[in-house]
Amino acid sequence: MKKVRLLLVAAMLVAVLAVGSTAAYAFPAGTWVSGVAVINQSGTTANVSITFYDTAGTDVFTITDTIAGNSQKSWYTPSIPGLPSNFVGSAVVSSDQPVAATVNTQVPTSGTGTMANPNRVGTSNGVNNASPTAYATQVMKGYSGWSSYCSVQNTGGAATTVTATYYDAAGNPVDTDTANIPVNASAVFDQETNGALTAPFSGSATFDGGGQNIAVVCNFYNSGSSYTTAQFHSYNGLSAGAGRLFIPRLVKDYYNYQSGYRIQNVGGSPTTVTVTYFFNGATYTQTSPSIGPGQSWGPYLGDAAQVPELAGVVGSGSAVIESSGQPIIATANEDNRTQGFGVTYNAIPDGEQTNAVLFPQITAKYYGFSGGVQVQNVGGSAATVTAVFSMQGRTDVTVSANVPSMGSVSWFAPNVVGPDFNGSVVVSAGQPLVGIGNGSYRSDVDGRYGVKYGDSFTTYNGINK
């Protein structure tokens, strides 16, 4: 069977887990759960299983199901009756057809969304190419109210000791941390409780799997003291860099939303990067200072002093990052600091772009949640880009747009499909593409469920097919 490995929080959490009460690490306050969406990339019905492993690597429960061709299904851990209470662990999705998946880590929407008890959610991708080393661009401890943790799953064939090396903002290694992880199990590297890291700390990390393949997901989060500080960001640790990266979506002064990004040098020598921004049909170029091995660098577009090249620019755009000689990785952030929204996704390495991008879960007025996709044409010429919105039991809806080379196009699902849509989107073109999908609770779009406060904003990388 073809497999995609999923890592959620410490991979999976069930609703009854009062976070912090049963674990030796400190999750943000609240009761946390997980959800997973799986899309069948083929036109043939897929036989799918999801196996849950506890932190000892024990198989505690398996779901079996089918997914129709080119369709998706989702599962919510509190609604899985065979999953034990207080479960914290990892999962593996297996299928006889090619599949892709996304994972949510969240405080349950039921009973939350008030000023005093805000929503919190982050989304990452299932991992299908684990490797012996993984890199994390953003790790923090007590940094202006922000902290982080990273979950590492041993996807190899033998138990292993995983070593995390932390680098400060100047690229200096400041600490190493280890965890022994059985096969299929996961362990949490919690920067907030790491006594060797001195707050305020903001830097990067490298994870060594001790000869076994590993998968990594990191979450960083604001203090959560109010709904305006409820931001919870999830992103995938990456196993290898490239000389060129694509960022399909960046925003600047866009309806109170701002973007930032962090670039990590995963090579052995210093490098500089050139960032070319594409906004409103125009291009702008910024060059970084020298970035040392293991070090990360990147500006916040909401601070004019950090991106003087974008003075006067307003709107939504994209970017291309090019290194002067060393492999690099990057993550892109987007936040709204008046509402407490925040998301992170991985920049796409050159070579992963394809003529079709899949989005396992996009919603339109679905219990108040709505989202969309943004796709960048990274080919050498303009192209007609076509998006097909699909949901079981409904007729597909197709839209298209002409997109210039390195430009991007967005579709907001409520403007394309009818209400109560919870489905998938496939975007294709005659030129190579990359893209991201996003969503949030939007009472201004769907007022049937009232107003909720806090971070309901999610973003994930589209799956290149």
H, E, C per residue of 348-399: EECCCCEEEEEEEEEEECECCEEEEEEEEECCCCCEEEEEEEECCCCCCEEE
Evaluate whether 218 touches 303 at the Cβ level (below 8 Å).
no
The candidate with the shortest Cα–Cα distance to 264, out of 334, 174, 321, 204, is 204
Beta bridge partners of 148: 220
CA 373 from chain centre, in angstroms, equals 14
What's the chain's Rg over C-alpha atoms?
20
The candidate with the shortest Cα–Cα distance to 459, out of 188, 232, 272, 139, is 232
Domain boundaries defined on the chain: 2-125, 133-236, 248-334, 354-464
Residue 80, SS3?
coil
CA distances from 259 to 40, 199, 299, 462 (A): 31, 24, 9, 18
Structure tokens at 412: 């907001």
pLDDT of the residue at 12: 46
Strand (E) positions, 155-281? 160-167, 173-181, 186-190, 201-208, 214-221, 232-236, 244-252, 258-265, 273-279
d(C-alpha 346, C-alpha 227), whole Å: 25
pLDDT of the residue at 71: 83
pLDDT of the residue at 31: 81
Q: What angle do CA 50, 356, 74 make, to 5 degrees?
A: 25
Q: What is the CATH number of domain 354-464?
A: 2.60.290.11
Q: Assess whether the region 133-236 and the region 354-464 belong to the same CATH fold.
A: yes
Q: What is the DSSP letter of 131?
A: B
pLDDT of the residue at 463: 87
pLDDT of the residue at 361: 86
Owner of token pair 């394809």: 354
Evaluate whether 57 touches 184 at the Cβ level (below 8 Å).
yes
Question: What superfamily would CATH give domain 248-334?
Answer: TM1070-like (2.60.290.11)
pLDDT of the residue at 1: 55
pLDDT of the residue at 417: 98
> Among the CATH numbers 2.60.40.3080, 1.10.1740.10, 3.40.50.720, 2.60.290.11, which is that of 133-236?
2.60.290.11
Can you give the pLDDT of all 465 residues of the chain as single tens digits?
555 554 443 444 543 333 332 344 566 877 888 888 888 888 899 999 999 999 999 999 999 999 998 888 989 988 898 888 888 888 999 999 988 888 888 887 777 888 988 999 998 888 888 999 999 999 999 999 999 999 999 999 999 999 999 999 999 999 999 999 999 999 999 999 999 999 999 999 999 999 999 999 999 999 988 899 999 999 999 988 999 999 999 999 999 999 999 999 999 999 999 999 999 999 999 999 999 999 999 999 999 999 999 999 999 999 999 999 999 999 999 999 999 999 999 999 999 999 999 998 899 999 999 999 999 999 999 999 999 999 989 999 999 999 999 999 999 999 999 999 999 899 999 999 999 999 999 999 999 999 999 999 999 899 898
CA distances from 314 to 256, 300, 311, 337 (A): 11, 14, 9, 17
Structure tokens at 154: 């041993």
* 2-125 placed in CATH 3.40.1030.10: no
What residues have CB less than 8 Å from 351, skipping those under 6 apart?
Answer: 242
pLDDT of the residue at 18: 33
pLDDT of the residue at 23: 42
H helix intervals, 143-241: none
d(C-alpha 110, C-alpha 450), whole Å: 13
The phi and psi torsions of 85 (rounded to 5 degrees) equal -65, 155
